[in-house]
Amino acid sequence: MNKKEIVKQTLLAEPMSKNALTLARGIYNTYTAMGEELFLEIKIQNIFKLLNLHPCKDSIKDIQNLLEELNEPLAIRNFEYNGDMIQLKFVQFCSYKIGEHTIKIELSPEYLHAQSEYMLDSFLF
């Protein structure tokens, strides 16, 4: 299979909020610090500090809303990943579960690939 030239695309439907960008970069920095491990467990207290939030239930709802903002699907045309070419692929940033003291996050390798190879409007690096 001949590898097609990757065409950079504007993938974000609308700009992300400042706090969503801060959270995404914090998660990405944790990912790189952990040796590019896709499964992360981050203390909620650390996210409160990162976002300058007061530790309370409303702040946890704010974090959940930011994670949902980050998970708006990206639509990528002519997406090539692991040797497969897909005409239109929708990818999300992560899956997550908010616990009592931590948030378990699994980053999407397809999203990270799209971020580095396809996005004109990249925001993680």
pLDDT digits (tens, 9 = 90+) for 33-79: 999 999 999 999 999 999 999 999 999 999 999 999 999 998 898 99
Q: Is the pLDDT of residue 13 over 70?
A: no
The H or E element that residue 49 is part of is helix 44-51
- How far apart, in Å, are the Cα atoms of 36 and each of 16, 39, 109? 24, 9, 10
Summarize the confidence of residues 5-14 as an average pLDDT.
72
Q: Is the pLDDT of residue 124 over 90?
A: no
This model's pTM is above 0.95: no
- pLDDT band per the 50, 70, 90 thresholds, residue 109: very high
In a domain, 1, yes or no: no
Nearest to 43 by CA among 86, 82, 100, 91: 100
In a domain, 100, yes or no: yes
In a domain, 109, yes or no: yes
pLDDT of residue 1: 41
Among the listed ranges 9-13, 70-74, 78-82, which one has the minimum average pLDDT value?
9-13
Q: Is the pLDDT of residue 122 over 90?
A: no
Domain total of the chain: 1
Helices 57-70 and 18-33: crossing angle, nearest 10°?
80
In a domain, 2, yes or no: no
d(CA 103, CA 61): 12
Question: Tokens standing for 87?
Answer: 């005409």
d(CA 30, CA 119): 21
Q: What single letter denotes the amino acid at residue 53?
A: L
Nearest to 105 by CA among 54, 75, 70: 70
CATH number of the domain to which 73 belongs: 1.10.10
Q: Which domain holds residue 66?
A: 18-117
